[in-house]
Structure 1
Amino acid sequence: MPTIQRSFFFLLLTLVGCANPDLHTRGLVTQNAMVVSAHPLASQVGADIMRRGGNAIDAAVAVQFALAVVYPDAGNLGGGGFLVLRQQDGTVAALDYREKAPAAAHRDLYLNARGEVIENLSLKGHLAAGVPGTVDGMVQAHQKYGRLPWRELVQPAIALAAKGFPLTQKEAKKLNGQRKNFLAYNTRRPDFILKDRWREGDTLRLPDLARTLERIRDQGRDGFYAGATARLLVEEMKRGKGIITQQDLTDYHAVWRTPLVANVGEYQITAMPPPSSGGIALIQLLTLSQDYPLREWGWNTVKTAHFMVEAERRVYADRSKHFGDTDFFDMPVYGLLDTSYIKSRLRGFSLQKATPSEQVSPGTPPLAEPMHTTHYSIVDPQGNAVSVTTTLNSSFGNKVFVAGAGFLLNNEMDDFSVKPGVPNSYGLVGEEANAIEPGKRMLSSMTPTILEKDGQLFLVIGAMGGSTIITTVFQIIQNVTVHGHTIQGAVNAGRFHHQWKPNWILSEWGALGFGTGLGLWFKGHKIAPKTGGIGRAAGILVLPDGTLEGGADPRGDDAAAGF
């Protein structure tokens, strides 16, 4: 190795090898109820709702709308998400309020006349938006499971938007960083969000958003998908040459789906089915881990990290070919969850050296038998649990505010395979299963998950972070169930990620340590350091005495609240 290259390599390992935080520190512990979300004000809103007699779904609705105000880069009205519910009696449900492609969308929407991808067209501006699902999802969740009146759940968000709230240092920095995008991609200047320089403690007031929330409070679904809000959204589309129409809004409906339920070791996993790729991928990763002594090998040692990377490499290869919207594509769900098939994916795996991604292809699962993103976790006093991941896709979505309505639109269309075989903004490669079609839901990595142990609620977990969500949730579950970390320690711990292509390990500073980094390099792995963190998680662990411990991610302003 040349001297300069060798010096850079060892400098890199030194940086990657910084010390990790205390893995056994405790988060907030409460007796009865807990909310963990990306913002302390939103967490407090959810806790207050449960204090007033609301259940976990009531709190989820209130937190969703509060996040749309105080956490605008991912909390949303103009996006979508997934919700997984476990009731106190053990029954489970899953709600898909993922965005859909507008009726005018087509597979070549983002290609030029030569069939080449037009840069940023699926990421920024009006054409990047899918039909929003968040409001309909919250309405349906409340109608089926809610306890408190709808108006009471939306009102806290209205108060935050109308009266204003103090910006955190991180949120002020993010708003400052998006100023140029807000000016470039909005048809009408969004002065309410523009300022020469936002600072920590500045009050942000959102009067247009408050009025939109008032319509949702008073009219429910029609407060968004019809009337004034819908008119403003459609007018925004026309000004910006977008393609969402009133008919698209009218036709949108969230869908209740059968959750994935799998037994892995001593735990029962309840996870989101497609169009989330997270549930299947997580179950595959946890199943692959059963045959290897990871506890004996130790946390983030060379052997453990090498195994996890090789498992992730194969699971993400499957994701590229076989995952899509099952309403449009005959996805081999049964085969992908077949234990024999999952374990067969490690054929050729060596403990001694890395497998080049070019030598790993998607598998052939057996045929089926007949048969920016943010996360919040909630447990209520009755023991009902909700795991929700919701997103605009990139931070602040497509950067477009609906003029007069005050909310941001998503850029979820980039989660389709804009062109089969061409990576999206997260570097993920997809094929025909995830090609653009009118009315189709785009594939997602969101992984809201609930674990049981011995028939009792054990862990509620999920994360934000695009393609890194799956591996973030996987590592946190392993940290708790295999390595014995507290949930706060498990969330704090440094993370790494591999997604098949590109062929390198993405690692937070300090996640692997000098010895592990060097050992992985000798096995043939490439390591790319990641500043700013990988994923942001929100978890709740039920302790042996029945109390609840919250795991709020220090990578953001995340906070736990409860009583």
Structure 2
Amino acid sequence: MNSRRAWLRNSAALLAGAAIAPSLASPLIADDSNQPLPPFAARGTAGAVATVHPIATAAGIDAAKQGGNAIDAAIAAAVMLGVVDSHNSGLGGGCFILARLASGKTVCIDGRETAPAKATRDMYLRGGKADPNLSQTGALAVATPGALRAYELLSREAGTRKFAELILPAAQVAEEGFAIDRVLAGRIAATRETIAQFPATAEVLFTASGKPLETGMTLRQRDLARTLRMIAEQGVDWFYEGELAERIGAWMREHGGLLSQDDFKNYQPARREPLSTSFRRNTILGFPPPSSGGVHVAQILKMLERFPLAEIHRSSPAAALHLIAEAMKLAFADRAKWLGDPDFAKVPRGLIDEKYLMARASLINPQETTAAVAGEPPHPQSDLFSKHTTHITAADRAGNIVAITATVNTTFGSKVIVPGTGLVLNNEMDDFSIEPGVRNAFGLIGGQANEVAARKRPLSSMSPTIVLDVDQKFRLTTGAAGGPTIISQVLLNVLRTLEFGENLATAIAAPRIHQQWSPDELRCEKTLPQEVQDDLSSRGHQLKLVDSMGVSQGIERRDDTLVAVHDPRVPGSARGWS
């Protein structure tokens, strides 16, 4: 059996299992731009947007058509997602923004949440032992939200429309309501017990009789609508220095939280230098620490560059996946030891040094798995980086490309909505290493570099990525949601397009793998061909099969056309405009 043909057949099988409404008989994107697109992709000659929700994508398209650019489209979509996809993101959380402007300038904005000023390293220890529940649910789990200030900064830097104009459509939808889809209904049902602990949250997400809202019911969020309108009318300072910050600070004092009004007042997004590396002469623009994603995507790509991966994949997809998994393992071992907020921890730039990565790649046995430990990059003390989730992507004909990954961390974050605000507050404190050896909600272990400290940003896997071709022209952008699998998703999307010659729709739909070093297991989607699974097992991989893994979005350039793609594993929306 032709293994490549079988691989594509199994990609189609993945779509069939995703419960997507449109016909799945549509072909995948072909190189010929006249070929029809699958239901999870769309073309645009003037621009394109992809998100996980059609209302958010429509908000982005409307922002562009009313005189905006891709930057305006992405911000409008991101704010709208906080209304229609609030279990994943919103203004109560944070974001990373990576944008390549028409001028050729790259903008990198860190809107990651920060620990409260009163946070301490041992704040989650009870009786000498860490209690993960405290970092995941309730008042102590909440870090200072950063998304709103980051969006405003991006708007001032590169948008063409007034910031308030990008917020008001979300206020209208929050006020009038929208029909809940199966994904949101499922998330409410799955977290009903913890939601019930917080009356203001339950009031929004449950019926009057106390039952979780179900698919097709209308979700109205009048307090959130008011919050959005006040931001539009009075500006972002109302959120960070006015009534909202005061209200949240007061609630935290009453409920044992550390977040204060001063934490809001002192919050500022950070400008970062984008991480620029190369793979097969293409330029990979990623996000630097406190994102671990940019570093590790770059590490894995550079380790794999020494192998003829495309040729190996053609003859044996399992052999190629084995190499990818082993490179993932080495990168995640480095993550646990070295990565953290560069304003607080020494994060070595040597992690992306080519000689270091060649040495790391030499540890990979092409035939079988090997144990991995963190490496020792060059000059680790002196050459340093300067001091649940969703992804939105937009691009326009002028050459503006923006990738925003935003989050409140796990489903509905801390589960806290402070009465009168409508905002789902994050539980980003769980992304710190609350104690050595204690796993977070995603099973990750961290070290001293990522321990809790006042006003520190927790380590993140968010990986907004932009790829430029050998002529420095836009090739594609991609990003993902799904905790640490964000890194593996982005990596596979880039590899399958640049190395295997696939279009982005095929790449995003293909079965995924993930190896995060600890636990030492290879997570695989069940749609991975059985013969590939068997081959990987024979090489020593301990497989853990999952129904699906993460959610990706992306846009690629095909001549003068932009093709937006949303992940077929979940409902979503990709649209273009001309």
* TM-score interval (norm. to shorter): over 0.9
In structure 2, relative to structure 1, the CA distance for the partners of 1:69 and 1:203 (3 Å cut) is: same
How many residue pairs match? The answer is 539
1:35 corresponds to which of 38, 49, 57: 49
Pair 1:362-2:352 in alignment: no
Instruction: Decide whether the 8 Å contact of 2:284 with 2:466 is kept in 1.
Output: yes
SS at match of 1:345: helix
SS at match of 2:475: strand
C-alpha deviation, 1:235, in angstroms: 2.3
Corresponding position of 1:11 = none
Pair 1:255-2:267 in alignment: no
Deviations 1:296-317 (A, max 9, x none): 1226712101101100000000
Corresponding position of 1:7 = none
Instruction: Decide whether the 8 Å contact of 2:310 with 2:500 is kept in 1.
Output: yes
Corresponding position of 1:62 = 76
Pair 1:96-2:110 in alignment: yes
Corresponding position of 2:124 = 110
1:541 corresponds to which of 537, 556, 572: 556
Tell me the TM-score normalized by structure 2.
Answer: 0.90
Corresponding position of 1:557 = 571
C-alpha deviation, 1:479, in angstroms: 1.2
Corresponding position of 1:13 = none
Partners of 2:13 and 2:312 lie apart in 1 by 19
Instruction: Decide whether the 8 Å contact of 1:102 with 1:244 is kept in 2.
Output: yes
Matching residue's letter, 1:161? A
SS at match of 2:523: strand
Corresponding position of 2:7 = none
C-alpha deviation, 1:23, in angstroms: 5.7
C-alpha deviation, 1:442, in angstroms: 0.4
Corresponding position of 1:281 = 296
Corresponding position of 2:20 = none
Partners of 2:394 and 2:140 lie apart in 1 by 34
2:174 corresponds to which of 157, 161, 169: 161
C-alpha deviation, 1:381, in angstroms: 3.1
Pair 1:194-2:171 in alignment: no
C-alpha deviation, 1:82, in angstroms: 0.2
C-alpha deviation, 1:177, in angstroms: 2.4
2:165 corresponds to which of 152, 160, 179: 152
1:223 corresponds to which of 234, 238, 243: 238
Instruction: Decide whether the 8 Å contact of 1:17 with 1:517 is kept in 2.
Output: no
Partners of 1:432 and 1:327 lie apart in 2 by 14
Deviations 1:188-234 (A, max 9, x none): 46312212243332211100000000111112221211222112211
Partners of 1:441 and 1:77 lie apart in 2 by 17
Corresponding position of 1:47 = 61
SS at match of 2:196: helix
C-alpha deviation, 1:172, in angstroms: 1.8
Partners of 1:142 and 1:350 lie apart in 2 by 48
C-alpha deviation, 1:425, in angstroms: 1.4
Instruction: Decide whether the 8 Å contact of 1:187 with 1:240 is kept in 2.
Output: no
Pair 1:388-2:409 in alignment: no
C-alpha deviation, 1:321, in angstroms: 0.7
Instruction: Decide whether the 8 Å contact of 2:80 with 2:169 is kept in 1.
Output: yes
C-alpha deviation, 1:90, in angstroms: 2.0
Instruction: Decide whether the 8 Å contact of 1:23 with 1:485 is kept in 2.
Output: no
Matching residue's letter, 1:361? V
Partners of 1:324 and 1:388 lie apart in 2 by 20
Deviations 1:319-366 (A, max 9, x none): 011111111112112x0111110111123321121113xxx2110000
Corresponding position of 1:12 = none
Pair 1:451-2:464 in alignment: no
In structure 2, relative to structure 1, the CA distance for the partners of 1:369 and 1:120 (3 Å cut) is: closer
Alignment of 1:46-445 (within 5 A): 46-114=60-128, 116-184=129-197, 186=198, 188=200, 190-195=202-207, 196-298=211-313, 301-333=317-349, 335-356=350-371, 360-367=372-379, 368-369=382-383, 372-445=388-461
Corresponding position of 1:9 = none
SS at match of 1:325: coil
Query: Structure 1: which 5+ residue stretches go unaligned?
Result: 1-15
C-alpha deviation, 1:18, in angstroms: 9.9
Partners of 1:395 and 1:338 lie apart in 2 by 36
Higher mean alpha-carbon deviation, 61-70 vs 480-489, is at 480-489
C-alpha deviation, 1:419, in angstroms: 0.6
Deviations 1:390-446 (A, max 9, x none): 001101101111211111110110111111232211111111100111010000000
Higher mean alpha-carbon deviation, 168-177 vs 117-126, is at 168-177
Partners of 1:510 and 1:469 lie apart in 2 by 19
Instruction: Decide whether the 8 Å contact of 1:187 with 1:239 is kept in 2.
Output: no
1:464 corresponds to which of 481, 488, 508: 481
Partners of 2:183 and 2:500 lie apart in 1 by 31
C-alpha deviation, 1:373, in angstroms: 0.6
In structure 2, relative to structure 1, the CA distance for the partners of 1:66 and 1:17 (3 Å cut) is: closer
Pair 1:499-2:507 in alignment: no
Query: Structure 2: which 5+ residue stretches go unaligned?
Result: 1-9, 16-26, 31-36
Corresponding position of 1:480 = 497
Partners of 1:93 and 1:352 lie apart in 2 by 42
Instruction: Decide whether the 8 Å contact of 2:512 with 2:549 is kept in 1.
Output: yes
Matching residue's letter, 2:65? R
Matching residue's letter, 2:103? D
Instruction: Decide whether the 8 Å contact of 1:38 with 1:556 is kept in 2.
Output: yes
C-alpha deviation, 1:76, in angstroms: 0.5
Alignment of 1:20-31 (within 5 A): 20-21=14-15, 24=29, 26=37, 27-31=41-45
Deviations 1:164-197 (A, max 9, x none): 111112222222222221112x154631221224
Partners of 2:117 and 2:407 lie apart in 1 by 21
Matching residue's letter, 1:56? A
SS at match of 1:537: strand
Instruction: Decide whether the 8 Å contact of 1:139 with 1:220 is kept in 2.
Output: no
Instruction: Decide whether the 8 Å contact of 1:133 with 1:254 is kept in 2.
Output: yes
In structure 2, relative to structure 1, the CA distance for the partners of 1:143 and 1:493 (3 Å cut) is: same
